[in-house]
Amino acid sequence: MGSVILLLPLVGFGLVNGEDRSKWKEPRNHSRHHHPLKKIKVDPSGYGDFKTIQSAIDSVPSNNKNWICIYVRIGIYREKVMIPMDKPFILLQGERRNNTIISWDDHTTLAESPTFSSFADNFSARHIGFKNTYNLEDRMQKNPRVPAVAAVIAGDKSSFYKCNFFGLQDTLWDMQGRHYYKSCHIEGAIDFIVGMGQSIYERCVIYVISRMLDPNGIWEYPGYITAQGRNSPTESNGFVFKNSAVYGNGAAYLGRAWRDYLRVLFYNTSLSNIVVPQGWDAWDVDGHE
């Protein structure tokens, strides 16, 4: 085993096996001089092409090679949504992230619980919220605390802009692949950013709600923000929080080691006094810090 926590500079994060991140195929900024994206409209009131997000995704051709925008009107979408591996180049565009929300309450395991799942490469989401309500909305006292994932991201070259992620335990399963999060709000209490992704979180709000773990409000039970899962010193994955802010209503560790070679970096990020003085927890690899 090697070091559990490695605080490394950003040098090298732009290249993966010699590939320049700048060559990622991102959705173009289509102006009136470009052919617009094909757009599919989702409206629960029936004034769009589909009433549910999943039915819109199902309409995308397999092995699609051109960006398709699924435009989602304001609403609470009570459904589990999954983008399969063979449907790349989808842009999921909400109207406003606080009012355009995909919500469900499945639970128990990481694999079974996600409200939203994306397994395709070249996926992007903007102005939309993802929520798992199993332990939220006054349900913590009724339901036992178990993994309840709001979103799992497993495709390569995935990006999120001004999106919300709400849950308690394992809120965002940043499973694998290269991911970019910009100006997102991520909320939870236990391991709520977890996985083996190679990801940058830029100008994001990381909000800890660990007071829900302790109804007496004395902050006796701190939470954990990250549980990163690097297995070996040669793996390129890790989490970088850049120009972000960490605060909330309860105490928390910055992270704990889900695998032996956890790599997490908080760079130029504001850490409030909710962060416990120890900072990190070695979890099951104690002694190898």
What pLDDT is attached to residue 216?
65
Domains of the chain: 74-285 (2.160.20.10)
Who has greater pLDDT, 151 or 281?
151
Closest residue by Cα to residue 175 from 154, 193, 159, 204: 154
What is the average per-residue pLDDT within 50-58? 98
pLDDT tops 70 at residue 249: yes
What pLDDT is attached to residue 204?
98
Please calculate the CA angle 150-156-162 and round it to the nearest 5 degrees: 50
Who has greater pLDDT, 33 or 146?
146
What pLDDT is attached to residue 217?
57
What pLDDT is attached to residue 108?
82
Who has greater pLDDT, 149 or 36?
149
What pLDDT is attached to residue 36?
59
Closest residue by Cα to residue 161 from 187, 189, 185: 185
Which range among 109-113, 173-177, 184-188 shows the weakest confidence by mean pLDDT?
109-113
What is the average per-residue pLDDT within 157-186? 98
Q: Are the beta carbons of 180 and 160 closer than 8 angstroms?
A: yes
Tell me the C-alpha distance between 118 and 280, whole Å. Answer: 30
Tokens, residue 181: 């999060």
pLDDT tops 80 at residue 262: yes
What is the average per-residue pLDDT within 179-198? 97
What pLDDT is attached to residue 31?
41
Q: What is the average pLDDT score of the chain?
A: 87
Which range among 28-42, 187-201, 205-219 shows the weakest confidence by mean pLDDT?
28-42
Tell me the C-alpha distance between 86 and 119, whole Å. Answer: 8
pLDDT tops 60 at residue 6: no
Q: Provide, rounded to the nearest whole percent, the portion of the chain with pLDDT above 90.
A: 71
pLDDT in tens, 69-94: 999 999 999 999 999 999 999 999 99
Q: Is residue 152 classed as helix, strand or coil in its secondary structure?
A: strand
What pLDDT is attached to residue 251?
93
pLDDT tops 50 at residue 1: no
Q: Any idea which residues carry the catalytic annotation?
A: 170, 191
What pLDDT is attached to residue 17?
40
Q: Provide, rounded to the nearest whole percent, the portion of the chain with pLDDT above 70.
A: 84
Tell me the C-alpha distance between 124 and 251, whole Å. Answer: 32
pTM across the whole model: 0.86
pLDDT tops 90 at residue 223: yes
What pLDDT is attached to residue 259?
82
pLDDT tops 60 at residue 143: yes
